[in-house]
Amino acid sequence: MDIKQYVIEHGRQVNLAAGQHLFRQGEMEDALYFVKQGLFKAYYLCQDGKELVKSFIAEGDVITNLSAVFEREPCTFSLLALEPAALVKVDFDSLYQHTLDDLELSRFMLASLIKLAQKKERREYEFLCLDATTRYQQLMQHQPDLLHRITQNDIARYLGITPVALSRIKHGRKG
C-alpha cells in the first residue's frame, strides 16, 4: 500500500497554534506525525534547566520520538510549534505492523530511516569536527530559508552555544 493512501485511511488531523506543544519530554507517546504545515522545534530540557535544540522540523518532514514509540519509554525531548501547524497523526504500532507485511510501506520506511540516519551523521560530524563559527556558516549555507523563520536564540541553542556567543560570532568579535 502507498504511504499516502495509508495516511488517508488511518490518519487523524491535528492542528496546533504557535506556542503549543505536540508532546513534552517525560510524557508517553505512541504516534508518528506528518507535517503538512508549520514549523517545530524539538528540544531537550537538561538537568540544569538549560534548553538545547535537537532539530527543526517543517513541511514534508515526519515527527517521531524513536525511544518513546519503540521502547515505550517516556519522550526524550519536547516538541513545540513555532508557527501555526497542521499535521496528520498516525498510530505508530499500527503503521509498524503494516510495514512488516507490506513491501511498499516498508520501502517508504527504509527510505525515511536512511534519510534520518544521514542527517544525524552529518550533525555528529559537525559537533565532532567543526567549531561553532563554522557550524553557523554551514547552517547559513545549507538552510538559509530556516534562519528567517527562527529566532536567533533558538539557532544558538541548535548550534550548541549560547545566544550571547552567537551574537559575538555574527559580529566577528572574540570572547
Partner DNA sequence: TCAGCGTTTTAACCTAGGTTAATTACCTCG
Partner DNA sequence: CGAGGTAATTAACCTAGGTTAAAACGCTGA
Which residue ranges make up the site for a second copy (CB under 8 A)?
44, 46, 50, 52-54, 66-67, 70, 76, 99-101, 103, 106-107, 109-110, 113-114, 116-118, 120-121, 123-125, 127-129, 160
Secondary structure in 3-state letters for 121-165: HHHHHHHHHCCHHHHHHHHHHHCHHHHHHCCHHHHHHHHCCCHHH
CB atoms within 10 A of CB 81: 21
C-alpha cell at 80: 513545540
Pick 43 or 92: Cβ nearer DNA: 43
**Which of a second copy, DNA, none does residue 37 bind to, with CB < 5 to 8 Å depending on kind?**
none
Number of residues that bind DNA (CB under 7 A): 22
C-alpha cell at 68: 518513546
Q: Sheet harboring 31-37: ordered strands across?
A: 12-16, 85-91, 31-37, 62-63
**Which of a second copy, DNA, none does residue 109 bind to, with CB < 5 to 8 Å depending on kind?**
a second copy
**Which of a second copy, DNA, none does residue 52 bind to, with CB < 5 to 8 Å depending on kind?**
a second copy
Question: Rounded to an integer, what distance in angstroms lies between the CA atom of residue 13 and that of residue 15?
Answer: 7
Among 164, 126, 129, 160, which residue's Cα sits nearest to residue 142? 126
Among 22, 19, 160, 147, which residue's Cα sits nearest to residue 88? 22
Pick 110 or 164: Cβ nearer DNA: 164
> Which parts of 3-62 interact with DNA (CB under 7 A)?
50
> Which parts of 153-172 interact with DNA (CB under 7 A)?
153, 160-171
> Which parts of 120-149 interact with DNA (CB under 7 A)?
131-133
**Which of a second copy, DNA, none does residue 170 bind to, with CB < 5 to 8 Å depending on kind?**
DNA
Binding site for DNA (CB under 7 A): 50, 131-133, 151-153, 160-171, 173-175
